[in-house]
Structures are given as structure tokens and as C-alpha cells.
């Protein structure tokens, strides 16, 4: 054995110690790390949440990489892959697109996640884009409060695969997958479109939950505007309107893609999508009514501000009118005329005070009776 070999063996633990933070840094930067193609398995691609193969509605045991899962699914006539991704990098998404034959334009949209809800057809692969929504709890609504947090959900539906790409923290799919595997095996037998339905249903159900919670916030704002106190500030009402606009952008544009899906999916799964479509229509109607209500609340608050300003101006004018009596009296006797008979009268000073006070009291009562004070 050479003298160099013992030194090399002593350095191996040190190199392994440095390898751990290097791999962690590669994972943080979105690089492929140990896998050349960036998608060698669930451990290599950090964006892969779950990759499973389903045959006749049952999940096959084992851990599969995306390419292995597709090979296994294609070996069964009724098999398909459900690949779940969370905020994939461009490198990871490109490798998966190469394996599953995804179009480059759809891949670009899935990575950037800045798309309106839509449904596109790339050969045998359908690409569905939805915006997710989540209600953000808060103690009170201010001019900086975030009420609705939105993200994006993309679904690639092929003949023997479905790929879900999620951006943001809203509408997680772990519970959806567990429910399908545990309680809805017959639905899974319908294939990839069944998964697409379950994902769409979860997104729309979150819309309904957000709409109900937003309604509670609107009730609080409305109560504050019409209360006898200071009322809700206009800034908070405007912020709520901005959050509602953001929610509306997520909900309303999804109507057309859902209608297109109902027309192209098999009839046995179409009835499920029609149910989702009904829920979406209900949410759209709620959001439209909330928008009208918020406009009315904003107009009412602006009217209240105008009325309050008018009341303040009337109070100022009333007190100014009362003060004018004192100013006029002081002005008359401050002109220093030589011949003023009242100056020689013994009771002129107390009489002046009495006249000024009586006139002031009469004016105060008149203004008070007319609602100016």
C-alpha cells in the first residue's frame, strides 16, 4: 500500500461532511444535484411531491421516478401516472416534459405561473390552468390587510398520465389524493380526467370557503359604516375592494375552461364536472353581489364623510354667528365717538353685557333647534 492511500482514506469522512451542505445548496438553488437529468427520482427532484401509478383505480406499491412510473403505467391498459409537483424549476420541468411529451409553451406557463385560467389542447395532452385562493385570517381590516391569497394550479391531462403543478400554499392536494385512494377508488378507475375533476373540485370548494369568509368581513365593514361611532375608514374599504378584485380575477375567468371541459370529457366523468361548474357559478354570483355591496358601502361611507363635513361647517358657522354679536357690540363702542349718550349712563356697562348675553342665548337656542349645534 502506498503512503498516499492512508491519507486519502482519512479525507473521505471530511469530503462526505462537505457533500451534505453542497447538496443542500444545490437543492436551494434549484440545480439538479446528483441527478444528471434533474428528474431521476422523487428524491432528486425537490419539486416532486408524489409520483404514483394507478391500475384499475388502485395505487401500485413502490416508489417510482417519473420515467419509471410512465413505463409501468403504459404496460397496463388501464394504468396511469399521477405526478404532483410544487413550484418546479425550469430545469426540472424541462426534464419531465421530455419524458411525458409536454409542449414547450405549456412548460413555460407551468414554470412562470402568471397565467389566466384557461384550457389548451396540445395534441393528446390537455393543459388546464386555474388560480387558487386562500383566505388569510386577520384581526381587523386595515389599508394593508391581505384578505385573499392567490396562487396557481396547472393540470396536464394525457391518455395515461396527469401532472399537477401547484404554485403557492392554497389548495394543497395531499388530502385529495388520500381521499381518492381511500374512499373513491371507483372514481379513480375513470382515469386521468377523474384526478383532474378532483383537483378542480378542491380548487372551487376553496372558492366557496373564501367567499363565505369574505361575506363575514363585509358584514363587519357594513356594521362599522352604519354605526354611530367613527365608522370604518375609507382606506380599509378600498383595500377590501382591491382584495375582492383579486379574488374575482381567480373565479370569473374559470367559467369558460370548465364549460369546455364538460364538452370534451367522457359522459361518465362529465356529470362530475357539471357539479363543479354549478359550484363555480354560485361563487361567481356571490362575488358579483359582494362587489355591488362593497360599492354601495363605499358610496355610503363617502356620503357620511360629506354629511359630517357639512355638519362641522354648520357648527362653525353657528358659533361664528354668535361670536359676531360680541364683535359687533365691541366694535360699536370701540369707535371712540365723542357724543355717545350711553357712555354717561350709570348702568350702560351692565346693560351692554345683558343685551349681548340675551342675544347670544337666543341665537344658540335657534341654532340648536335647527340642528346646527
DSSP per residue over 188-229, as a string? HTT-HHHHHHHHHHHHHHHHHHHHHHHHHHHHHHHHHHTSSS
> What was the pLDDT predicted at 108?
92
Q: Single out the residue of 287, 123, 87 nearest to residue 204, CA to CA.
A: 287
Structure-model confidence comparison of residues 199 and 345, the more confident one: 199
Q: For residue 24, what is its C-alpha cell?
A: 443542500
Confidence band (pLDDT; 50, 70, 90) for 27?
A: very low
Query: Cell numbers at residue 294, please?
Result: 362593497
Residue 354 reports pLDDT greater than 50: yes
**Under a CB-based contact definition with an 8 Å cutoff, are residues 166 and 87 in contact?**
yes
> Which of 83-87, 186-190, 225-229 bottoms out in mean pLDDT, i.e. has the lowest?
225-229
Tally of CA atoms within 13 A in the half-sphere of 98 that contains its CB:
10
- The mean pLDDT of 311-327, rounded to a whole number, is 86
Q: How far apart are CA 275 and CA 25, in angstroms?
A: 45
Q: 350 pLDDT band (50/70/90 cuts)? A: confident
The reported pLDDT for the residue numbered 46 is: 65
Q: Is the pLDDT of residue 26 over 70?
A: no
Tell me, what's the pLDDT at 228? 61
164, three cell numbers: 399537477
Say if residues 218 and 298 touch (Cβ distance below 8 Å).
no
Question: In this structure, are residues 88 and 47 in contact, taking their beta carbons and an 8 Å threshold?
Answer: yes
Residue the block writes with cell 375552461: 257
Residue 29 clears pLDDT 80, i.e. is over it: no
41-72: pLDDT as tens digits: 444 446 899 999 999 989 999 899 999 999 99
User: In this model, does residue 14 exceed pLDDT 50?
Assistant: no
pLDDT tops 70 at residue 20: no
Position 9 scores a pLDDT of: 37
CA distance 22 to 120: 40
d(CA 144, CA 273): 37
Distance between alpha carbon 334 and the CA centroid of its chain, in Å?
69
- CA angle, 200 then 164 then 62, to 5°: 120
Q: Which fold has domain 31-304?
A: Beta Polymerase; domain 2 (3.30.460)
Inter-residue contact 273 to 262 (CB < 8 Å): yes
Find the angle CA(144)-CA(147)-CA(151) to the nearest 5 degrees. Answer: 110
C-alpha cell of 65? 421516478
Q: Which of 126, 83, 127 is nearest to 109 (CA)?
A: 127
Contact 54, 83 (CB under 8 A): no
pTM (global) more than 0.75: no
Q: What is the mean pLDDT of the chain?
A: 82
Cα gap 22→162, rounded to integer Å = 33
Is pLDDT larger for residue 35 or for residue 258?
258
**CB distance 243 to 236 below 8 Å:** no
For 337-346, how does the pLDDT look when each residue is reduced to its tens digit (9 = 90+)? 776 777 777 7
In 10 A of CB 57, how many CB atoms? 17
CB 225 within 8 A of CB 232: yes
Find out whether 137 and 169 touch, Cβ atoms under 8 Å. no
CA 275 – CA 253 distance, rounded (Å): 17
| CA 361/CA 180 separation, integer angstroms | 81
What pLDDT sits at residue 152? Answer: 93
Average of per-residue pLDDT across 221-249: 79
Give pLDDT, residue 132: 94
Residues 6 or more apart whose Cβ sits within 8 Å of residue 261: 119, 128, 196, 200, 273
C-alpha cell of residue 114: 402568471
Going from N- to C-terminal start, the domains of the chain cover: 1-30, 31-304, 311-369
Average pLDDT over residues 8-26: 38
> How confident is the model at residue 229, as a pLDDT?
61
* Of 17-31, 103-117, 264-278, 303-317, the least confident: 17-31
Contacts of 371 (CB under 8 A, 6+ apart): 314
Amino acid at each position: 500500500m502506498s503512503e498516499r492511500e492512508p491519507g486519502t482514506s482519512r479525507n473521505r469522512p471530511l469530503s462526505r461532511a462537505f457533500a451534505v451542505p453542497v447538496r443542500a445548496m444545490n437543492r436551494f438553488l434549484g440545480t439538479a444535484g446528483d441527478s444528471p437529468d434533474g428528474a431521476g427520482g422523487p428524491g432528486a427532484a425537490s419539486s416532486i411531491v408524489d409520483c404514483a401509478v394507478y391500475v384499475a383505480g388502485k395505487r401500485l406499491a413502490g416508489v417510482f421516478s417519473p420515467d419509471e412510473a410512465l413505463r409501468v403505467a403504459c404496460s397496463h391498459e388501464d394504468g396511469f401516472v399521477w405526478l404532483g409537483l410544487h413550484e418546479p424549476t425550469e430545469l426540472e420541468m424541462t426534464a419531465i416534459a421530455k419524458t411525458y411529451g409536454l409542449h414547450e409553451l405549456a412548460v413555460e406557463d407551468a414554470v412562470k405561473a402568471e397565467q389566466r385560467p384557461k384550457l389548451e389542447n396540445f395534441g393528446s395532452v390537455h393543459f388546464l390552468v386555474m388560480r387558487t385562493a386562500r383566505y388569510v385570517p386577520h384581526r381587523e381590516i386595515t389599508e394593508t390587510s391581505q384578505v385573499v391569497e392567490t396562487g396557481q394550479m396547472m393540470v396536464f391531462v394525457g391518455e395515461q398520465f396527469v401532472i399537477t403543478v401547484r404554485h403557492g400554499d392554497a389548495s394543497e392536494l395531499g388530502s385529495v389524493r388520500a381521499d381518492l385512494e381511500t374512499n373513491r377508488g371507483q372514481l379513480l378507475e375513470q382515469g386521468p380526467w377523474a384526478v383532474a375533476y378532483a383537483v378542480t373540485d378542491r380548487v372551487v370548494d376553496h372558492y366557496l370557503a373564501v367567499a363565505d369568509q369574505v361575506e363575514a368581513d363585509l358584514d363587519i365593514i357594513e356594521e362599522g359604516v352604519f354605526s354611530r361611532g367613527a365608522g370604518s375608514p375609507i382606506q380599509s374599504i378600498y383595500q377590501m375592494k382591491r382584495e375582492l378584485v383579486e379574488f374575482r380575477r381567480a373565479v370569473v375567468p374559470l367559467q369558460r375552461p370548465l364549460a369546455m371541459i364538460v364538452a370534451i370529457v367522457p359522459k361518465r366523468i362529465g356529470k362530475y364536472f357539471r357539479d363543479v361548474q354549478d359550484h363555480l357559478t354560485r361563487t361567481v354570483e356571490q362575488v358579483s353581489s359582494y362587489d355591488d355591496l362593497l360599492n354601495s358601502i363605499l358610496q355610503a361611507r363617502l356620503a357620511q364623510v360629506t354629511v359630517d363635513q357639512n355638519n362641522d361647517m354648520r357648527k362653525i358657522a353657528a358659533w361664528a354667528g354668535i361670536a359676531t354679536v360680541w364683535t359687533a357690540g365691541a366694535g360699536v363702542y370701540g369707535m371712540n365717538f365723542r357724543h355717545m349718550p350711553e357712555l354717561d349712563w350709570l348702568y350702560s356697562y351692565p346693560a351692554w353685557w345683558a343685551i349681548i348675553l340675551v342675544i347670544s342665548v337666543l341665537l344658540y337656542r335657534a341654532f340648536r333647534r335647527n340642528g346646527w349645534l
